[in-house]
Homo-oligomer: A and B are copies of this chain.
Amino acid sequence: MEKPYVIGIDMGGTNTSFGIIDTRGEVIRRGAIKTQKFAEADQYIEELHATLEPLIEEVGGIDKIKGIGMGAPNGNFYTGNVEFAPNLPWKGVIPFAEMLHTTFGVSAALTNDANAAAIGEMTYGAARGMKDFIMITLGTGVGSGIVINGQLVYGHDGFAGELGHTTIVRNNGRQCGCGKTGCLETYTSATGVARTAREMLEMRKDDSILRNIPLESITSKDVFDAAMAGDIIAKEIFEYTGRVLGEAFADFIAFSAPEAIIIFGGLAKAGNLIMNPIRESMEKNVLPIWKGKVKLLFSALNEADAAILGASALAWELKN
């Protein structure tokens, strides 16, 4: 009989959440552990196993589990390794897929978090039935998962889809954590939005609710709240962010002509505040053949579950 469940694990720099998921994409059991608590990756996997084991028993034991999918920063699908992740406590190359397989006794696959989100969207979300789309995750960083001909794009080495590190400002661009300057991520991540806020508030003289917050501690959430309250500068920050994203999206469309670009992550909560300027700028910058043709969508996945669902979707594709 086909095994009825998969396990999805979303490893973040701070927390790791996981769930047991059924074929319809329902998370029937869930839990979380602290990623940062473990000095060794072995201990982390052991704790994961200890926490998941009673849940697995509740749903009928490990024989009911088809496999494990994990989304992790710098996860490489081809190797099953996490490789040199700057935001994780463990350095170097760590073979998590193999470790999960050994510890749990079922097949395991691993990819990076944005790829997991794209697979989740294709399996359960807004991209169901699509063969060509691009998922853009707007969080602390900017990630991407690209699907072409119904397949996730991993590239020759497993690292494809780093659209957050395409160059959007060629001269005097902002310094990026990756070592380059002018990367899309430095303008359109949550931290990029906060950075834009600080720059705009320093350059301009007009009034803003945001001036009540110490400059260095403004977050993208503050900008969102201010914009919702009608603050002019806050709205302009979203317009600027959306314009930059739309310019970038136009170039992505020239590459793979996707049916849709799907936005996911914290900034997507800004709704039309961010979507309208993205759409306007994308339509303005795209080649005539694509005007009005490429859908711009928000993720249809429940945000709390999306990362787990995405990772779990990877497990359905495992050959046992």
Which residues in A have some Cβ–Cβ distance to B below 8 Å?
130-132, 146, 148-149, 151, 153-163, 165-170, 178-180, 247, 250-252, 254-259, 285, 287-290, 293
Whether the Cβ atoms of B178 and A257 lie closer than 8 Å is no
Whether the Cβ atoms of A156 and B254 lie closer than 8 Å is no
Whether the Cβ atoms of A254 and B166 lie closer than 8 Å is yes
Whether the Cβ atoms of B146 and A255 lie closer than 8 Å is yes
Whether the Cβ atoms of A163 and B255 lie closer than 8 Å is yes
Whether the Cβ atoms of A160 and B257 lie closer than 8 Å is yes
Whether the Cβ atoms of A160 and B247 lie closer than 8 Å is no
Whether the Cβ atoms of B256 and A290 lie closer than 8 Å is no
Whether the Cβ atoms of B159 and A257 lie closer than 8 Å is yes
Whether the Cβ atoms of B287 and A162 lie closer than 8 Å is yes
Least Cβ–Cβ distance between A199 and chain B, in angstroms: 17
Partner among B131, B161, B163 whose Cβ is within 8 Å of the Cβ of A156: B131
In the complex, the chain B residue whose C-beta lies closest to that of A169 is: B170
Partner among B163, B247, B293 whose Cβ is within 8 Å of the Cβ of A254: B163
In the complex, the chain B residue whose C-beta lies closest to that of A161 is: B255
Whether the Cβ atoms of B255 and A160 lie closer than 8 Å is yes
Whether the Cβ atoms of A156 and B247 lie closer than 8 Å is no
In the complex, the chain B residue whose C-beta lies closest to that of A158 is: B257
Chain B residues near A179 (CB, 8 Å)? 288
Query: What is the bound-complex CA distance between A293 and B169, given in angstroms?
Result: 25
Partner among B148, B157, B165, B290 whose Cβ is within 8 Å of the Cβ of A148: B148
Least Cβ–Cβ distance between A135 and chain B, in angstroms: 13
Whether the Cβ atoms of A166 and B251 lie closer than 8 Å is yes
Query: What is the bound-complex CA distance between A165 and B290, given in angstroms?
Result: 12
Sample 10 A-B pairs with CB under 8 A, ordered by A number. Answer: A131-B156, A146-B255, A156-B258, A157-B289, A159-B290, A166-B251, A166-B254, A166-B255, A167-B285, A255-B256
Query: What is the bound-complex CA distance between A235 and B295, given in angstroms?
Result: 44
Whether the Cβ atoms of B257 and A255 lie closer than 8 Å is no
Whether the Cβ atoms of A257 and B165 lie closer than 8 Å is no
Whether the Cβ atoms of B255 and A156 lie closer than 8 Å is no
Least Cβ–Cβ distance between A111 and chain B, in angstroms: 13
Whether the Cβ atoms of B290 and A258 lie closer than 8 Å is no
Whether the Cβ atoms of A287 and B160 lie closer than 8 Å is no
Chain B residues near A131 (CB, 8 Å)? 156
Whether the Cβ atoms of B288 and A157 lie closer than 8 Å is no
Query: What is the bound-complex CA distance between A159 and B256, given in angstroms?
Result: 8
Whether the Cβ atoms of B156 and A257 lie closer than 8 Å is yes
**Which of A130, A153, A178, A289: most chain B Cβ within 10 A?**
A289
